[in-house]
Amino acid sequence: PARGTVVLQAHQVTKRFGGLIANNAVDLTVRAGEILALIGPNGAGKSTFFNMISGVDDPTAGEVRLMGQAMTGKPSREFAALGLSRSFQHVRLLGQRTVLENVAVGAHRRAQRGWLASMLRQDRAEEAAVLAEARRQMERCGLAAHAGTPAASLALGQQRIVEIARALASQPAVLLLDEPAAGLRHLEKQALAKLLDQLRSQGLGILVVEHDMEFVMNLADRITVLEFGTVIAEGTPAEVQGNQRVLDAYLGG
């Protein structure tokens, strides 16, 4: 999609768990070529919102639109087919498998074939295409030198980048990242930010859920702040940073 196109839109997305309102009428728009951040204290409803907008779970009310299509009630594989790819809060790699194999999993998802079937090389032409795509994404993410390394033996910062490469291998228009900077060292955060900046300039729409304020302030075009499931602020990093309600939420005030 062309830069500026709305790729993902949440309209009044609400999620209740019994009496608890985990997301309360959340509005949010992601455009191609921008990085939007969703921040908020623990328990604010960030992961819940991610589940709503990636089809992992259904909103109690409200609507999610992906590439202009209403997604209510659709399974997560249809979100993926329309160009949405996500990472999870905790690293989900096949640790004993190589970086190449892990990234190839993402390309298989696009090919809509079972991972195991393709690993068994039941279809050599498809296997070659999948591996070529995986290598292309590893190159894009600076992982080419690690193709044969077992994923688990990489540092956490590089494992996160492997997850991003795997997500990119499905050729998404929208990338959702759940706390990609969590637990990373300073230099690893810088490398991650550089990669995300590069992906943005290549036209990807990126929504990042993040706990690390400094990381987000330096990276995002716009920020939406959640507290107890409700949007309490949105705007540029400068606008959000100076917002008293945001400061109070973070200081527990």
What does the binding site for ligand ADP look like in residue numbers (CB under 6 A)? 17, 20, 22, 40, 42-48
Tell the residue number behind the tokens 């079972």, with chain if given.
Answer: 114
Closest distance of CB 252 from ligand ADP, Å: 14
Taking the CA of residue 67 as centre, how many other CA atoms within 13 Å lie in the half-sphere pointing to its CB?
16
Question: Quick one: 20 or 247, whose CB is closer to ligand ADP?
Answer: 20
> Of the listed pieces 8-16, 45-53, 70-78, 129-137, which binds Mg ion according to CB under 5 A?
45-53
Tell the residue number behind the tokens 């892990």, with chain if given.
Answer: 102
Closest distance of CB 177 from Mg ion, Å: 12
Interaction of residue 47 with Mg ion, rule CB under 5 A = yes
> Of the listed pieces 41-49, 59-67, 181-189, 222-230, which binds Mg ion according to CB under 5 A?
41-49
| CA–CA distance, 45 with 68 (Å, rounded to integer) | 24
Amino acid at 98: T
Nearest one of 161, 197, 200 to 180, comparing CA atoms:
161
Question: Quick one: 46 or 135, whose CB is closer to ligand ADP?
Answer: 46
Question: Quick one: 53 or 82, whose CB is closer to Mg ion?
Answer: 53
Question: Quick one: 20 or 156, whose CB is closer to ligand ADP?
Answer: 20
* Closest residue to Mg ion in the complex (CB): 47
Rounded to 10°, the helix 156-168/124-140 angle is 130
| CA–CA distance, 3 with 30 (Å, rounded to integer) | 11
β-pairing verdict for 35-39 and 205-210: parallel
Closest distance of CB 225 from ligand ADP, Å: 11
Closest distance of CB 248 from Mg ion, Å: 20
Question: Quick one: 173 or 209, whose CB is closer to ligand ADP?
Answer: 209
The site partner of 48 among ligand ADP, Mg ion, none (C-beta below 5 to 8 Å per kind) is ligand ADP
Taking the CA of residue 177 as centre, how many other CA atoms within 13 Å lie in the half-sphere pointing to its CB?
31
The site partner of 44 among ligand ADP, Mg ion, none (C-beta below 5 to 8 Å per kind) is ligand ADP
| CA–CA distance, 84 with 145 (Å, rounded to integer) | 27
State the DSSP string of 205-218: EEEEEES-HHHHHH
Closest distance of CB 38 from Mg ion, Å: 10
Neighbours of 99 (CB within 10 A): 28
The site partner of 43 among Mg ion, ligand ADP, none (C-beta below 5 to 8 Å per kind) is ligand ADP
For residue 22, report the phi and psi dihedrals to the nearest 5 degrees.
Answer: -80, -30
Question: Quick one: 81 or 182, whose CB is closer to Mg ion?
Answer: 182
Task: Name the site residues for Mg ion (rule: CB under 5 A).
Answer: 46-47
